[in-house]
Amino acid sequence: MADAIENTPFEEALIRKPPVRRTGMGRRAVFVFAFICALAWLAPFYYLAISIFKTTEEYAHNDALSLPEGVSPIWSNLEQAWTQANMASAFFNSALYGVVGAGLAVFFAAMAAFALARLNFGGKNFWFMLIFLGTIFPFQMYLIPLFFGYQHAGILNTRWGMLLLYTAICVPFPALVLRSHMSQISREVDEAARMDGAQEFRIFWSIILPNCSGSLVALFLLQFTWIWNDLLFSMVLGNRPEIRSIMNALQVFQGNYAAYGPNVALAASLLASIPPLAAFAFLRRHFMEGLKV
């Protein structure tokens, strides 16, 4: 009988090994760990869900984690939160700051990214590093210079001042992301458009921007959410009642209207969380497409 032919090390490496399967104990351990993490993540939502259905007296005299006695108090809690926290004006202000500020920031960032990625000019690295510096320093170090600068310019506690701040501060991160995206688009399309007589802005508007639509939507949603949730700059630069953002209004409501109870404050927080959730639900498909880039 002929001797068996042994496989070479290279041939043995090519042999496909069967996948390693987890044992039953391993699968159960992973499931238990995931279940515990899910419970820990959902615990605050449970507290919110049961608290907004309680009256102030019920919340004060019963255990905080006990189930509510009925569901009707939620409407009273929401009504008190809406009226006493002046949430109508705060909603308008935050929507204005979020939509206009984030929209302008992403548009200006797209123009800067187009110049950095598609055009040739002197000092490109300097301008890139200057924009990049906006993502390095903590925001707290801007407060004192901005406060005195706004006070000197006469735009402290004004909507124009808040829009100017949010537009400027939200430019660096989208510019860096869009610069990376625009660098991946073939430059041949630019040359073909120039041969047809297109100017740079036409190339930017008609060719480059449509190819970045997913990233633009994702960046807009991220910047809108950040502006909506901002409390630091709103407290320092826009603290007048008619200028306050939604987060600033919630903070003032919690301090000045503590007599209404945590159940009303939680109802106000629930109202404040609806717009970002609705924006994400409406734009989730575009948001996920933008994350794939």
Domain count, the chain: 1
Q: Look at the block and give the residue holding tokens 């510019």.
A: 175
The token pair at 216 is 């633009």
Residue 113 inside a domain? The answer is yes
Residue 75 inside a domain? The answer is no
Note the Cα 238 to chain centre separation in Å: 21
Contact 268, 253 (CB under 8 A): yes
Phi-psi region of 16 (alpha: psi -120 to 50; beta: other; left: phi over 0): beta
Residue 79 inside a domain? The answer is no
Residue 227 inside a domain? The answer is yes
Residue 114 inside a domain? The answer is yes
pLDDT of residue 2: 47
**Nearest 5°: CA angle at 82, between 274 and 80?**
125
pLDDT of residue 1: 45
Residue 60 inside a domain? The answer is no
Residue 264 inside a domain? The answer is yes
Domain of 273 in residue numbering reads as 87-291
Residue 194 inside a domain? The answer is yes
Q: Cα dist. 55→52, 135, 280 in Å?
A: 8, 45, 31
Give the number of residues written for the chain.
293
pTM of the predicted model over 0.85: no
pLDDT tens-place values along the chain, 293 residues long: 445 455 555 555 545 555 555 566 778 888 889 999 988 888 888 888 888 888 888 888 888 778 888 888 889 889 988 988 889 999 999 999 999 999 999 999 999 999 999 988 888 889 988 888 888 888 888 899 999 999 999 999 999 999 999 999 999 999 999 999 999 988 888 889 988 888 999 999 999 999 998 899 999 999 999 999 999 999 999 989 899 999 999 988 877 555 677 888 889 999 999 999 999 888 887 777 665 65
Report the CATH number that the domain containing residue 109 is assigned in CATH. Answer: 1.10.3720.10
